[in-house]
Amino acid sequence: MKTIKHIINNQETTGHSTNTQAVYNPATGEQTAELVLGNAQDINDAVENSKQAFKTWSTTPPAKRAKVMFNMRQLLIDNADLVAETISKEHGKTHDDALGEVTRALEVVEYACGIPDKLKGDFSSDVGPNIDTHSTRQALGVVAGITPFNFPSMVPLWMIPMALACGNTFILKPSERDPSSANLIHDLFAKAGLPAGVLNVVHGGKETVDAILDHKDIHAVSFVGSTPIAEYVYTRGCAAGKRVQALGGAKNHMIIMPDADLDQAADALMGAGFGSAGERCMAISMAVPVGQETADKLIEKLIPMINKMKIGPYTQKGMEMGPVITKEAQTRIEGLITQGESEGAKVVVDGRNHKVDGHGLGYENGYWVGATLLDYVTPDMSVYKQEIFGPVLSVLRADTFEQAVDLINEHEYGNGTAIFTRDGDAAREFASKIQVGMVGINVPIPVPVAYHSFGGWKRSIFGAHGIYGPEAVHFYTKLKTITTRWPTGIRAGAQFNFPTLD
């Protein structure tokens, strides 16, 4: 059985802790590896190494840093199947879904290839007598990322390329549930020409996270995960004087208007609700049809589509959904379905106790939850209030467009939302009034492309900056403004007032 180790200065190491954790294949429930867990000393070793690497990397011309990103882009393309397989083995998502993750990660690498243009400052001549002013953006130093299990390659690659392209060095603390992708990303960057120490990987749990948040020489932390942990990371990191962007949970609604193309809406809900077994912060977990007739027709279309879903391991071709990440997640999701039923929701399609043919390979022991459809959900139910993070699509019927909008605006989360309609006026009003950070109009999962930025509102994000895109340049750099006057041979004498144009 393999041991997954930290990588510091391009060298694998077991570090200073003797604590380990098992890594499992969610499709079989079998242990596949043992993960070394780090401690504060391991983080300190990584920081010291990163500080040394920063001295050279931060002064490397942006065009040369971009060259590494161009090389990484090609390596991701060439190794897409390998990266996808690594994801699927430990996360459980289908191969096609994992390939989609690699594609979205690749977009951010491509955006980072243009870093020389993005770091250009501003210049103003003659702001005063013989005085010029220019601004520049400079790297922060050592920065860190704490990433979730649901996108073990994409989310790290939403952070790392922009942080490195801006001139920082980076310490990655990936999820301990599917850690192999992080080490593979490191190895690909090394092949791309990234100098040793610019990217380090330290595995671990809360002890490692706290060490990152408390270390005085880590200047910024980027986090993606649940809202309670995001708030913890933000509060503790800010108290230690760091920049923090902490992206949290979601409860994403999709309004279906009476004039919507219901076939298109049903297709969208299938992919957005059940893709990656619903383990996405941008998953649509709440369908909000407007009007009883709309709701009835939508349910009628969804039932046969859900019942035909192909659920199984990534090793079998044509599967549309894999297992959830852990046995604990399986138990929690099924418990919430049961709780929703007890609170009055109607279980239209029941994914509890879902069985998968083992094929002699142990798949019957995997962490399977079938696609589930709940109807007549109300805002006071647990399945509405909580982020289920599983393959559960709930239907909450609204009488009017205004009621549907108010429902979304009153929820504590504001990550993503969508509306399906043919009415341009309704779509425009929705986009204007909805209190959510990412909005789709006939688009079910409105994840922005890499040259825009990703980020929700309300308790879906803590901090002032979204992730990747233009926001990343501001997050991973600090502004410096230089005002210059060269001697002209004319002595003006001492001035005691604040400088002006006069």
Catalytic residues: 281
* CA–CA gap between residue 350 and residue 336 (Å, rounded): 12
Q: Could you tell me if 101 and 153 are in contact, meaning their C-beta atoms sit under 8 angstroms apart? A: yes
Structure tokens at 26: 């969610």
Q: Which residue is it, tokens 């649901």?
A: 150
Q: What is the 3-state secondary structure (H, E, C) of 231-251?
A: HHHHHHHHHCCCEEEEECCCC
How many Cα atoms within 13 Å fall on the side-chain side of residue 324? 27
Of 319, 252, 321, 318, residue with least CA distance to 287: 252
Instruction: For residue 208, give the nearest of 90, 42, 327 by alpha carbon.
Output: 42
3-state class of 449 per DSSP? coil
Distance CA 92, CA 27 (A): 6
> What's the gap between Cα 149 and its chain centre?
10
Burial state string for 331-367 with b = 16 or more CB within 10 A and e = fewer than 16 = ebbbebbeebbeeebebbbebeebebeeeeeebeebb
Q: What is the DSSP string of 377-404?
A: --TTSHHHHS---SSEEEE--BSSHHHH
How far is it, in rounded angstroms, from Cα 153 to Cα 148? 10
323 in helix, strand or coil? coil
Within 8 A by CB and 6+ apart from 164, the residues are: 57, 65, 68, 69, 112, 170, 189, 194, 198, 199
Question: Among 474, 478, 472, which residue's Cα sits nearest to residue 160?
Answer: 472
